[in-house]
Amino acid sequence: MEDVHDIALRELLDPLTGHLQEELNSARIAGQRVAILLVKSAAIDQIDAAHGFHAGDVLSSEIVKRLRSRALRKHDGIELLSRDEFVCILRPISSEGISMLAGQRILTLLSEPVEFGDKSAVADAAVGISMFPDHGEDAEVLLQRAKYALQSARKNRDRLCYYETEQTSPPIDQLQYAERLRLALDRNTLSLHFQPQFNLLTGRISGAEALLRWKDDVLGQVPPNIAVQAAESAGLVDRLTLWVITSAIQKNAEFQKISPDFTVSVNISPSNLQEPDLPFYIDRALRTWGVKGGTVVMEITETAIMVDQKKASEALNELKSFGVRLSIDDFGTGYSSIYYLAQLPLDELKIDLLFVRGMLEVPNYAKIVRSLIELAHNLDMMVVAEGVENEDIAAALTHLGCDYLQGYHIGKPMPSQDLITLLRAQPASAKKMD
Ligand code: C2E
Ligand code: MG
Ligand code: MG
């Protein structure tokens, strides 16, 4: 039997879904894609409770104003789903990447405080995205999928989530994942893939990023993020990272037989920096395989530094004393702070692939990429652009003076044997990319 609430909600939704459906119908005729960005402000509820509904209204209308005037294009639409949920309709939209960039822009705008009376508050927003016709052709289905993505977005570090069909599968059973991961570590059945990095100065592949690959008999292929999450909740992350570092250094000894001074980058989890023995293990692996510290790069994210800044800074300085190079990963999203760049002994900055992938379509992203390259160079850091997916992006980055390129255009992550074949095929001295 239908619930009274269901009927009321549907009546509320009808004008919106009706309007959205009209947009979708004309997009279908024009052969266009449409992105639905559902923005929710968690602060409005709290502000209502603390300062009254009027204050909540001020925040709600300021959000609409900012979205309309500074985040959306003239022809994009915005509709209110409720006082704290806003539906942005972006039409036409060329790719998933661009819809993510728009979501990122919205979040940046909404992180600026709103004044009401003598107080101020931030919207505490998250964005869930669904795409027409990729995720459905019906307005109600697309809104529901954007809502689903929004729920995941609230748990994400960057508060942004694009709907994935796999999200319909039930949430993972942490215990089962932990148990299977322990088994994989015991049986040594995990593996690493290596994604080549192209050095624009020498015109050669001069390094690779090691990326975890876990194909489990029961769970199938488990994405590295999920594997790391399972390891963290099961207290296995130090063991996992240790395995990754040791294996990557061992493989680098092989790569260096073909290409001396070849570098391998490994990803470090935030909690690894709390493990006091990490530098000791790295040092031991370097000695065991006869690899120089300067040819190993540790990639950290800003979250890693923020967990405990003092401890992180100590751990990073100790790593530096073995000559290991330090890189800041996914820079430009999350809680990017220039402060860390100045404070920590960092050697490299990796520009997040969101900016790189969108740089030819969104002029502001090209400007951000350019500024990040300049900033890093001024701080004597090398710059790696991630997510280089085509020739045109590679050419633009070359023009901007980027140092290294990484992305599908250079090469997808591959087994170490394939990288060895690639390195063998490289001419002794290659030409610069122009
Ligand atoms: P990350 O460190 O930023 O690695 C880059 C990710 O971008 C990789 O995804 C790579 O396959 C993908 N990628 C590279 N080039 C392109 C491109 O041109 N286009 C697109 N769309 N994607 C590209 P992957 O392998 O799924 O890894 C995802 C994340 O999982 C990594 O992001 C890293 O944060 C984490 N991760 C992977 N391996 C490890 C590990 O051994 N330890 C830890 N702690 N984290 C890991
Ligand atoms: Mg990385
Ligand atoms: Mg990255």
Domains present along the chain, CATH in parentheses: 20-162 (3.30.70.270), 176-425 (3.20.20.450)
Give distance in angstroms: CA of 224 to centre of ligand 1: 8
For residue 268, the ligand closest to its alpha carbon is: 1
pTM exceeds cut of 0.75: no
- 351 Cβ below 6 A of ligand 1: no
Contacts of residues 112-120 at CB distance under 8 Å and 24 or more positions apart, as own/partner, are 112/66, 114/58, 114/59, 114/62, 114/63, 116/47, 116/51, 116/55, 116/58, 116/59, 117/55, 119/51, 119/55
- 223 Cβ below 6 A of ligand 1: yes
- Using most ligand atoms within 8 A of CB, pick from 192, 351, 386, 392 the residue to mutate for ligand 1: 386
- 269 Cβ below 6 A of ligand 1: yes
Burial of 432 (0-12, 13-18, 19+ CB in 10 A): exposed
- 267 Cβ below 6 A of ligand 1: yes
pLDDT at 8: 46
Distance CA 362, CA 393 (A): 12
For residue 387, the ligand closest to its alpha carbon is: 1
pLDDT at 108: 87
- 188 Cβ below 6 A of ligand 1: no
pLDDT at 254: 98
- 225 Cβ below 6 A of ligand 1: yes
Q: Which residues pair with 116 in a beta bridge?
A: 119
Give distance in angstroms: CA of 201 to centre of ligand 3: 22
* pLDDT tens digits in sequence order for the chain, 434 residues long: 434 444 444 455 566 777 898 899 999 988 899 999 999 998 898 888 888 888 888 899 999 999 999 888 888 999 988 889 999 999 998 888 889 889 988 998 898 888 877 888 888 899 999 999 999 988 988 998 999 999 888 877 778 999 987 554 445 677 788 899 999 999 999 999 999 999 999 999 999 999 999 999 998 888 898 888 888 878 899 999 999 999 999 999 999 999 999 999 999 987 788 788 888 899 999 999 999 999 999 999 876 676 667 778 888 898 898 899 999 998 877 655 777 788 889 999 999 998 999 899 888 889 999 999 999 999 999 999 999 999 999 999 999 999 999 999 999 999 999 999 999 999 876 544 54
Nearest to 259 by CA among 298, 284, 295, 210: 295
Contact assessment for residue 400 and residue 369, using Cβ atoms and an 8 Å cutoff: yes
Give distance in angstroms: CA of 144 to centre of ligand 2: 32
Residue nearest to atom 20 of ligand 1 (CA): 387
Give distance in angstroms: CA of 211 to centre of ligand 1: 6
Helix (H, G, I), strand (E, B) or coil at 120: strand
